[in-house]
Structure 1
Amino acid sequence: MRSRARHTALALSAAALAAAPLAVAAAPAEASSAASLRTINVHRGAPARSFSFTAARAGEALIGFTASAPGVSWARKGAESAVVSIAVDGRHVTDLVVPSSDPTPRSLALGRVDRGRHKVTLRFAKGSAPAAGRVRLARTGVRMPAADQRVLRYAPVVVGRTGWPLGDPYQNATTDTPLIAWHETRPATTPGHEIIEYSVVWSNEDGGTDTPALMARWGRTTDIEWIYRVEVDAKGNRVEGTGEYQAPAHATLKFTGKYEADHPVLQTCTSNNNMCDVVTPDSPLRFMPDVTATRPADRTREYVMDQQPWTYRVMAQEMVREGKIENPSDPATTAVGDQRTYLYVEFAKTTGAATGTGSVPGVALGVRLKSDPSRLYRSDHDQPTWSIDRDGPVATTVELPAGTKSSDIASVEAVRRPTGIGDDGAPATVTSVNRGFFLDASYLPQPSFLAWKGSATLTPQAPSAVLWRP
């Protein structure tokens, strides 16, 4: 995960994001007249299924559908997913990993197409779990959104991981699969130019930050990474030599790889989903997620997950299948318990100037229950490095006893905690709580019941404050 300095360097101004209003990834119901909506069933061992669409103009196309695979569950070994290979005019453009038997809205990019008639071919692909035999794609259609052409034009192609851990070329069909993507923009140094940055939410990271720290410091066990950014001029054309990508060890490197039209081709090449611009030949899986979604400037990156609730279910199911969940759950330990026992909170904070030497302060959230108000359940489990020292909107989770409901909560508090040796004395101010929810029995977010705005300044002399009471 990124350091505080890296997050600061990538922070987007409110003015920059105000120019890029929220565009949630299109559900299949938004598929346009480029192709009438239809239901397509793709079977293991059966011939591929095809349909045609007509593009009224040249440009970037999206395909949308509601996908389900009977017998599939991301929570069960041997039943993880079904994979559908998608080709346009005989050219393999993207794969769809279907991790559930429950119908789920999905949207993928098809890349640039010329004006005229085109053929989409869908094939049940290798890498599908043994339990998978069919994929149902309901409300399937192709659209070419005029408002999003510039953003789609430069979106990266992500080739699947083939190396670590076992050299399995289909490993993204069972672990660390890309779920959704989005973009953000900000002004470039040159007037009239802008930077477009693309990010991906992965179901988990097999390496990098350990699972308990992910829950405490990031409020989820998915992995969220920016993967590519590029500068475009006032006419919307790519400025040569400005492409950058997030390389192994979170380094930022110039992109020197190959393009498909204006799409850079990258490959997931580390256990924590960093990129390489040299691609393994004949890699079988490739992904072109829909990147048209973005987020408000005052919300966390986890906001894009909140808009696609099914991502929380896949996140939790991967933890169960990989044996990363403590059983029975115990909030007194630092191990990750059943993720349905956690309160998922997003809040905003700032850190003031240091008044001495020592470590910077982080902020943890604490919850008291009506049944035992003397006990404080902390998001950082009292681990100094698990409090949150980065500023802006941030997300965390608080583990609570199994069965806890919103009506059981007596208060939510903010706690200042130095992250290392010593204390530099800087105040930390919490200014809002944007949402708080539990996952339901199916691992889907319940409606948020928690919201607060104000100013609670935490100091060494007054290190805690109550933010919310019912």
Structure 2
Amino acid sequence: MGKRARQAVLALTGVAVVGAPLLLTVSPASAAPGVINVQRNGSTKSLSFTARRDGEAVISFAASAPGVSWARKGAESAVVAISVDGRHVTDLVVPSSEPVARSLGLGHVRPGRHKVALRFAKGSAATARRVTLRRPRVEVPSGGADAVALRHAPIVVGRTLGSLGNPYQNSTTDTPLVAWHETKAAAAPGHRILEYSVVWSNEDGGTDTPALMARWGRTTDIEWIYRVEVDRSGNRVDDTGVYQAPEHQTLKFHGRYEGDHPLLQTCTSNNNMCDVITPKSPLRFLLDASPTRPDGRAREVVMDREPWTYRIAAQEMVREGKIESPSDPATREVGDQRTYLFVEFDKKTGSPTGSGSVPGVALGVRLKDDPSTLYRSDHDQPTWSIDRDGAVATTVELPVGTTVADIASIEALRRPIGVGDNGAPATVTSLNRGFFLDDSYLPQSSSIGWKGSVAVTREKPSAVVWRP
């Protein structure tokens, strides 16, 4: 929340405070100021704020739940239901006993005093006894891009369908972690398109997990879910809302709005949306979608800004038994994610010179103590090389204990993804970052970067792009 400048007016015990954290006295009396403990079987906690203007409110805090771990079956998370003025707005899934900064929308509020209620909710693991929220803060943007993005952000209703058949399944699997929006030009002068995307902790269906690591550089699921046109005043243009439906179709939104928030439900095992809501869905997520993605960067940079998402992704893989043990970079199976080099690079494909399949690009790594072995991001699987252009992310699995200091070189590897070869060259123009995860599955600082121009062709299908 502190990443974006906002104006807010809050009221604490009747005193107006501008742009300041909420400091509350909570039970028990010995609790530190600025801390809210939401207890299992305890009373609902509440805080009040005064909005001086119409707008979308956002609440932020550092959330933790002692006794929970996304890595352990039966201890995955604690859930807090959040209401505003008696209306259920959003849920918070807390998957860690360590504090994690979170930010959620509270929906539209009118000028005046409002009450936020926080209740320990069903779907929480048996090991969860309380949720601790540190430095709670409510803000209402004063206008501009943040306010418009928050106003049209989708509400994602929890998944209840499929083989799991559990109405609280997003408290244990494929949970929504963070959201953001992107702005694109519209045909009408002064209009623009808002596109909203979400990062889920994993996907129970869809792309094969080893292929996810090779082609996308992650085991999370990242999907755009809703797109809408707004006019120069930020108002929704009628009949322009679309969403990503099952089978990745783009369909017109015919569902219900809460204010300007469309209601969409995760309705497939690979986190596509439906605009018809199952009545028995108890969970809903209004994530703070005001952040944007930097121009010219891969979508995975959104995770880089929220390092805890890497830990949650790795823990879900461990808990679901999807990690090869012991890790072996010679196999296609996903090993310990701490053995992978996470890389983002830029590429572009030239014009074809014949017929056949388009070339993809994979990355290869050679180590100083074994330069004859080439560790490939695509594990030598043709369809695992990356054929899309722009900034893309991938991973290269390496022997346990490898560090950046052990790397002798990184190579670009051209590989047609299907039958034949259309002869097009591919050019790599940058390595934007490269890091390993630490013992806690958090990204270490990137110590790999490069800009230039290296082409790989049918005649010369590999070339070094980086040496220390």
TM-aligned CA deviation for residue 166 of structure 1: 2.1
Counterpart among 81, 89, 100 of residue 104 in structure 1: 100
- Separation of aligned partners in 1, 2:170 and 2:430: 37
Counterpart among 448, 454, 463 of residue 446 in structure 2: 448
> Aligned runs of 1:310-329 on 2, under 5 Å?
310-329=308-327
For 2:420, the aligned partner's letter is G
| Corresponding residue number in structure 2 for 1:136 | 132
8 Å contact kept, 2:7–2:141: no
> Deviations along 1:253-284, whole A, 9 cap, x unmatched?
00000000011000000000000000011410
Q: Secondary structure at the match of 2:105?
A: strand
TM-score (norm 1): 0.93
More contact order relative to length (CA 8 Å, sep ≥ 6) = 1
TM-aligned CA deviation for residue 235 of structure 1: 1.7
| Corresponding residue number in structure 1 for 2:466 | 468
Q: Secondary structure at the match of 1:328?
A: coil
| Corresponding residue number in structure 2 for 1:401 | 399
| Corresponding residue number in structure 1 for 2:44 | 48
| Corresponding residue number in structure 1 for 2:168 | 170
Q: Secondary structure at the match of 1:34?
A: strand
Q: Secondary structure at the match of 1:411?
A: strand
8 Å contact kept, 1:319–1:325: yes
| Corresponding residue number in structure 2 for 1:4 | none
Gapped regions of structure 2 (runs ≥ 5): 12-21, 24-33
Q: Secondary structure at the match of 2:10?
A: coil
| Corresponding residue number in structure 1 for 2:70 | 74
For 2:40, the aligned partner's letter is R
| Corresponding residue number in structure 1 for 2:14 | none
| Corresponding residue number in structure 2 for 1:10 | none
| Corresponding residue number in structure 2 for 1:124 | 120
8 Å contact kept, 1:411–1:466: yes
TM-aligned CA deviation for residue 30 of structure 1: 8.0
8 Å contact kept, 1:66–1:138: yes
> Aligned runs of 1:176-325 on 2, under 5 Å?
176-325=174-323
TM-aligned CA deviation for residue 295 of structure 1: 1.2
- Separation of aligned partners in 2, 1:207 and 1:31: 42
| Corresponding residue number in structure 1 for 2:109 | 113
Cα distance change of structure 1 residues 104 and 28 upon mapping to structure 2, 3 Å threshold: farther
Structure 1 stretch displaced more, 146-155 or 348-357: 146-155
TM-aligned CA deviation for residue 39 of structure 1: 1.1
TM-aligned CA deviation for residue 165 of structure 1: 2.3
Counterpart among 328, 331, 344 of residue 333 in structure 1: 331
8 Å contact kept, 1:28–1:105: no
- Structure 1 residue ranges, 4+ long, deviating more than 3 angstroms after superposition: 25-33
8 Å contact kept, 2:70–2:76: yes
TM-aligned CA deviation for residue 354 of structure 1: 0.7
> Deviations along 1:213-264, whole A, 9 cap, x unmatched?
0000000000000000100011211100000000000000000000000110
TM-aligned CA deviation for residue 164 of structure 1: 1.3
Q: Secondary structure at the match of 2:321?
A: coil
Cα distance change of structure 1 residues 29 and 48 upon mapping to structure 2, 3 Å threshold: farther
TM-aligned CA deviation for residue 27 of structure 1: 6.6
For 1:34, the aligned partner's letter is L
- Separation of aligned partners in 2, 1:31 and 1:45: 36
8 Å contact kept, 1:187–1:193: yes
| Corresponding residue number in structure 1 for 2:437 | 439
8 Å contact kept, 1:181–1:200: yes
- Separation of aligned partners in 2, 1:341 and 1:299: 24
- Separation of aligned partners in 2, 1:333 and 1:377: 11
Q: Secondary structure at the match of 1:235?
A: coil
8 Å contact kept, 2:428–2:453: yes
| Corresponding residue number in structure 2 for 1:16 | none
Q: Secondary structure at the match of 2:332?
A: coil
- Separation of aligned partners in 2, 1:426 and 1:154: 41
8 Å contact kept, 2:9–2:51: no
TM-score (norm 2): 0.94
- Separation of aligned partners in 1, 2:247 and 2:45: 41
- Separation of aligned partners in 2, 1:287 and 1:370: 47
Q: Secondary structure at the match of 1:206?
A: coil
RMSD value over aligned CA atoms?
Answer: 1.3
Cα distance change of structure 1 residues 65 and 414 upon mapping to structure 2, 3 Å threshold: same
TM-aligned CA deviation for residue 28 of structure 1: 11
Query: Would you say 1:352 and 2:328 are equivalent positions?
Result: no
How many residue pairs match? The answer is 446
TM-aligned CA deviation for residue 32 of structure 1: 4.9
> Deviations along 1:58-108, whole A, 9 cap, x unmatched?
110000000000011000001000000000001000000000000000000
- Separation of aligned partners in 2, 1:388 and 1:176: 25
